[in-house]
Structure formats: C-alpha cells, structure tokens
C-alpha cells in the first residue's frame, strides 16, 4: 500500500519546535534506534547536519545504497529490532529498491528514509528527482510522502508501528528537503493502538481446537515451520521445540526458518524444498496431517502445486491472513502470531482428551528412518581437490569446537544451499540469507549489519566468487569501522547454480556462466586493509579455516573447490516435490513416494 500521508493518529504535542531534520532524529531516538546505515547526498544534507550535532544515534557509512538496506536487514534479523536506512533522492532511493524488495519478500522490518526534492519542485524533473513513492509502492509494505511538517513526527512513529506489527516489512518515508529545513512541532508517539491497522495476534480458540483435533487423529503428522517463527521472537522458537517434543512429531524447516528448531535434535528432518533433504520432502508428501506455522507454501517448497502432498489435511497458521489459501488450499486456517499460536496449541493439546495414536506414529518414524537411511547429503572427500560440502562442514565443525556465538550470512547460489544443508543452527536469528528474492550481493553487507549489532560475535559470510563481487565495495565499510567479518568464498570459478541448471536442464550449454577474469582475492583483501587467505588443497583446509577465525580483523578466505560439483538433492523446475534428483551413485536417481507413505524408486 502507498499513500501521501493522511492524518494519522496524533499523540501529545509538546511545546518543542524543531527543524524537520531534528524531528526525524528525535522520533528515531524515541523509537529506540541506535544505528542508521546510509549514504549522504544533497537532499538529505539537513539530516546529516543534524546527525553531526548529536551522539545518541550512530551512523554507518556504506559504499552503496543497496548495501545499506541489506545491512539494515542483517541488523534487524539478528536482533529482532527495526533496521533503519538513510539515502538521498533520485539514484540514492532507486539504488535502495533491490534491498527493499528483498526485505518485503522475507518479511524484514526496515525503515528507509529517502531524501526528496523540495515540494514545489516535485513533478518538475528536478535534479536528482524520482517518483520514490510510486517506484517503491510494490517494493514496500507501506510508504509515505510527507508534505506537512506538522505530520512529520507522527508519520515516523506510524511507520515503525506498521513495519514491525503484523507481518513485518519495509516502509519508506520520502522527505522533501524543505520539510527537513522547515520548523514545526514535535509530536510524541501515540500511547493508544492504531485506529485502523490492528493485526490479529491472538488465534481463534475454535481454530486451535480444530487444529489440535486433526493432529491428535493423525497417523503420519509433520510440523513445517518457516521464517514467521523466527520473526515472532526467540520465545516462539522455544515453544516450537516444546510442541514438537511433547507430540513426538517430525519437524522440518524452510530455508528462512533454519534455527527455529535445533538442527541436532533427532526429530528434525532437515530443510525441505528444492534442495531439501530426501526425508523432509518425502515426509511432506506422505504425511496425512501437516501443520504449517509461519511459512507461505512458496514454490521452492511445494514444487508442482497439483502434486503437493495430495493425501494430507493441511493446517496453516500465519499472522498474515492474505497468505492463507493463497498458494495451497488448507483445511484449518489459524490467524495469529506464531508464538501465541504455539502457546495456545500446547495448552489445547494438554486439555484435549483424545488419545494420540502412538502406534501409528512409531510406524511413521520407522518409514522416516528408512528415508534417512538414504543419506542424501552424503559426499566423499578424496584427494586434494576440496569438495564444497566438505568446506562448509569443516567450517561448521571448527566453529562449534571454538564455542563462539556464530552468525552466518550468505550470498545466493550453490554455496547458499550447501550452507543451509551442512551448517547446523541450534538457535534462531543466527542465519541470514536472501530467501524470496534470491539477491546476489546480500551476504557481505548483511554480515556488516550483524557485526554492528553483535560486535563480539563471530560473523561469517559464506559466499561464492560471483556473488561476492556484487557488493565487494563494502570491504571499505569493514575497513573504516574495523568490523572483523570473515568472508568464506567457495570459489568454483562459475556462477555455480546457473551452471548446474545449464548442465541438468539445458544440455550442458554453459552460456555466460563461467566467471572469467576473477580478481586475486588475496590482493583484493589486502587492498581493503584486510587479511587475504587462499586454500587450494583439502589437506590445508583446516589450517586455513583456523587462520581465518584467529585473525582479529576482516578476512577474505578464497577456498578453491571442485568446479563441477552440483548441489543435491534437487527438485527440478516443474517437478513434484517427491520427484528429487539425487547425487550420482545414490540408488534410484529420481525417487518418489505414494500417498500412503511408501517409497517409490
């Protein structure tokens, strides 16, 4: 939705009169903002001047506006707070659009303050003018163009409310320069609920009872949890664990939901979807009752829709009612916050007198264990050429040995999927990746935002040599703020996922997927005042990882991996979610399962 600001709910007007720039900063302070990621320009210089004259809010100077939004996303996703971005008009705002769409698709709360030409020049093709509200209408949860300074503070307060309540998302506030220079009253945040936007957080009791009745009567149940559980806060993840363990059901996570349920728990089936595990995808297809909580039935999970889990009853719990029945028709709809839904289901489960069919559940687990026996993520590391799976697994194992609080970001491609498959997450908010939009260049600036939020934590960007170059300029930001981010490049000299699709689906015609003329990443790191490491042999991998982790500053570790390795399992485009391509040498190659849960090979 988009709007030139209508009269929002007014708070208590104080006697203070401020410039527009001061009003914005005061509103940000009142909202608890500590950090802004931004890049200056003419239209926002009044705001930068006001920033210079205060010390409450820290500003991080990025090297590109897209990176500012990704950094704010990393900050938001690792803290649960709202990320804040400040960019100038025209190209500053348009450069931010990719990040805004990324935040929209992955439900990340971000406030983006954009400069605009003075109100009397809007629509006149003035220097560095763009129709920011028009451009960002489909890229944001909501946006505003402020033309009345008396409504400026209340607009900022409302933007925060909209961004973080209900399904989170990005909000743009377009700020004409004359509004920033002019003077007006400061309005405090309203204490009463918003008059029109009041998302439902408490689930309907009858829907909860219906969901519990279905699950208690199930013989082959499964819990499918997504990023909505992460967004609902750490308590929601704790409640998910409690519910899954008390019911004895298997649990799988989406790409965005990794960490919502501990990866080492025996009831965890791994990630599901296009590159999910054999057992997760077949259990989703063969289940008779499915509980989806905080996920949106996206195409990378469902595969071909008319073949998606055809024999199951489906329960969908989501805070966004528009997501329910959008892609997949469900039998029970539960609208509410994921944490409150789980709390209600735990209580209803305890109170419901129906007995669970434990015998059938035991049989279901025997079937799942047969699928697990396929060992779909097995690989063989032989010789000196480094398998990318091995590189990620050793990175995971060595960081676990160290016992440090570790946050992982990724770029997009094969390395992203290997990271999801082989790097285990025991807690929420430790995994930051671009899910819905699949934005190459996401990982490095996101890691920057995470490191700002958690200065003492270990932050690693697992990258590909193609994706990392999309926002490589942010190495300058790492240098300026002495951010000890580690970049772990799986370098196969290809746009790996593009090459894989070309091999499997386009007759091995590798059209423009070879990354020719790559830089020397060691020298590139050194040019940005960072440490550069290159590892080319498997026997040197552990030492290279330990050297990277031991260095107190930023590092680029260039890990030369097998050039022709593919990421499996894989659901081909247009296939059903039980039609997986397995790694060469694994029995069957393409596998399936009947509606009754029996394996087809």
Q: Is 521 tagged catalytic? A: no
Position 45 pLDDT exceeds 50: yes
| Residue of 177, 313, 314, 393 with catalytic role | 177
Structural domain count, the chain: 3
Among residues 497, 548, 570, 580, the one annotated as catalytic is 497
Q: Binning pLDDT at 50, 70 and 90, where does residue 165 land? A: very high
pLDDT digits (tens, 9 = 90+) for 314-373: 999 999 999 999 999 999 999 999 999 999 999 999 999 899 999 999 999 999 999 999
Q: Domain check: are 71 and 34 in the same one?
A: yes
Alpha helices by DSSP H, listed for 307-387, are 338-351, 358-372
User: CA of 60: how far to CAs of 63, 90, 374, 433, in Å?
Assistant: 10, 21, 48, 21
- Looking at the structure, tell me whether residues 213 and 178 fall in a common domain: no
Closest CA to 151 of 20, 56, 59, 272: 20
Q: From 158, 186, 214, give the residue that closes a domain.
A: 186
114 — phi, psi (to 5°)?
A: -115, 135
Residue 128 has pLDDT above 90, yes or no: yes
473 is catalytic: no
Strands in 283-430 per DSSP E: 289-293, 313-318, 332-335, 406-410
For residues 397 and 544, state if they share a domain.
Answer: yes
Q: Are residues 494 and 545 in the same domain?
A: yes
What pTM value is reported for the model? 0.94
pLDDT higher than threshold 90 for residue 10: no
Q: What does the pLDDT read at residue 584? A: 85
Kindly state whether residue 536 falls inside one of the protein's structural domains: yes
How confident is the model at residue 102, as a pLDDT? 98
Residue 594 has pLDDT above 50, yes or no: no
Tell whether 573 is covered by a domain.
no
- Whole-number Å distance between alpha carbons of 208 and 203: 7
Q: Mark whether 165 and 251 lie in a shared domain.
A: no
Q: What domain range includes position 473?
A: 388-560
* Residue 585, domain member (yes or no): no
How many angstroms separate the CA atoms of 334 and 481, rounded?
Answer: 45
Check whether residue 13 and residue 162 sit in a common domain: yes
Q: State whether 209 and 104 are in the same domain.
A: no
Over the stretch 174-194, which tens digit does the pLDDT of each residue have?
Answer: 999 999 999 999 999 998 888
Both 426 and 466 in one domain: the answer is yes
CATH number of the domain where residue 314 is located: 3.40.50.1220
Spatial CB neighbours of 489, under 8 Å, sequence gap ≥ 6: 463, 464, 465, 468, 521, 556, 557, 558, 559
333 shares its domain with 399: no
Q: Are residues 513 and 407 in the same domain?
A: yes
Same domain, 280 and 317: yes
Q: Are 304 and 574 in contact (CB under 8 A)?
A: yes
Task: Give domain status of residue 18, yes or no.
Answer: yes
In this structure, is residue 517 part of a structural domain? Answer: yes
Q: Where a domain ends, among 372, 407, 427?
A: 372
Among candidates 462, 469, 597, 451, which has minimal Cα distance to 524?
469
Check whether 597 has a pLDDT greater than 70: no
65 in catalytic set: yes
Residue 524 has a pLDDT of 98
Q: Band of the pLDDT at 195, cuts 50, 70, 90?
A: confident
From 127, 242, 347, 426, the catalytic residue? 127
- Residue 153 counted as domain residue: yes
Residues 339 and 407 in one domain: no
Q: Is residue 595 part of a domain?
A: no
**Catalytic residue (choose from 18, 26, 65, 374):** 65
Q: Which two tokens stand for residue 55?
A: 């010390």
177 is catalytic: yes
Mean pLDDT of the chain: 94
CATH number of the domain bearing residue 11 = 3.40.50.970
Is 127 a catalytic site residue? Answer: yes
Determine which of 5-14, 197-206, 283-292 has the lowest per-residue pLDDT on average.
5-14
């Amino acid at each position: 939705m988009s709007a030139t600001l209508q009269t929002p709910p007014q708070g208590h007007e104080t006697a203070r009169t401020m410039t527009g720039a001061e009003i914005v900063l005061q509103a940000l302070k009142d909202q608890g903002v500590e950090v802004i990621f931004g890049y200056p320009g003419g239209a926002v210089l009044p705001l930068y001047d006001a920033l210079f004259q205060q010390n409450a809010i820290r500003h991080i100077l990025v090297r590109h506006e897209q990176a500012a939004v990704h950094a704010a996303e990393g900050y938001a996703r690792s803290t649960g707070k709202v990320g804040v971005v400040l960019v100038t008009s025209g190209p500053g705002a348009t450069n931010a659009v990719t990040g805004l769409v990324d935040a929209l698709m992955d439900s990340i709360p971000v406030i983006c303050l954009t400069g605009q030409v003075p109100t009397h020049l809007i629509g006149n093709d003035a220097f560095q003018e763009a129709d920011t509200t028009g451009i960002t209408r489909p890229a944001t949860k909501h946006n505003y163009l402020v033309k009345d300074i008396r409504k400026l503070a209340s607009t900022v307060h409302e933007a925060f409310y909209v961004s973080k309540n209900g399904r989170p998302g990005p909000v743009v506030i377009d700020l004409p320069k004359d509004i920033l220079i002019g003077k007006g009253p400061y309005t405090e945040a309203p204490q009463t609920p918003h008059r029109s936007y009041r998302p439902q957080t408490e689930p309907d009791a009858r829907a909860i009872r219906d969901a519990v009745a279905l699950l208690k009567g199930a013989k082959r149940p499964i819990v499918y949890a997504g990023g909505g559980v992460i967004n609902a806060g750490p308590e929601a993840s704790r409640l998910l664990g409690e519910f899954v363990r008390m019911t004895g059901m298997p649990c799988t996570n989406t790409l965005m939901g990794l960490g919502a349920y501990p990866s080492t728990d025996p009831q965890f089936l791994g990630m599901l979807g296009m590159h999910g595990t054999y057992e997760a995808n077949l259990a989703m297809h063969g289940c008779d009752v499915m509980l989806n909580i905080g996920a949106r039935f996206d195409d990378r999970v469902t595969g071909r829709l008319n073949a998606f889990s055809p024999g199951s009853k489906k329960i969908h719990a989501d805070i966004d009612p528009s997501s329910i029945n959008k892609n997949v028709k469900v039998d029970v709809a539960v609208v509410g916050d994921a944490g409150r839904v789980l709390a209600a289901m735990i209580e209803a489960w305890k109170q419901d007198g129906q007995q669970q069919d434990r015998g059938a559940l035991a049989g279901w687990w025997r079937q799942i264990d047969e699928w697990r026996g396929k060992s779909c993520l097995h690989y063989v590391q032989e010789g000196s050429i480094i398998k990318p799976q091995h590189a990620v697994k050793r990175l995971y194992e060595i960081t676990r040995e160290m016992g440090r609080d570790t946050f992982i970001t990724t770029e997009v491609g094969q390395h992203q999927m290997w990271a999801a498959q082989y790097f285990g997450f025991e807690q929420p908010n430790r995994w930051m990746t671009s899910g819905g939009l699949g934005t190459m260049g996401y990982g490095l600036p996101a890691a920057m935002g995470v490191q700002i939020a958690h200065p003492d934590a270990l932050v690693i960007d697992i990258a590909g040599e193609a994706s990392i170059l999309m926002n490589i300029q942010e190495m300058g930001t790492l240098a300026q703020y002495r951010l000890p981010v580690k970049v772990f490049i799986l370098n196969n000299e290809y746009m790996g996922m593009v090459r894989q699709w070309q091999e499997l689906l386009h007759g091995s015609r590798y059209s423009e997927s070879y990354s020719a003329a790559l830089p020397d990443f060691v020298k590139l790191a050194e040019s940005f005042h960072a440490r550069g490491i290159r590892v080319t042999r498997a026997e040197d991998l552990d030492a290279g990882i330990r050297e990277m982790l031991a260095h107190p500053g930023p590092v680029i570790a260039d890990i030369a991996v097998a050039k022709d390795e593919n990421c499996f399992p894989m659901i081909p485009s247009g296939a059903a979610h039980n039609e997986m391509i397995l790694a060469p040498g694994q029995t069957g190659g393409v596998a399936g399962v009947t509606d009754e849960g029996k394996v087809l090979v």
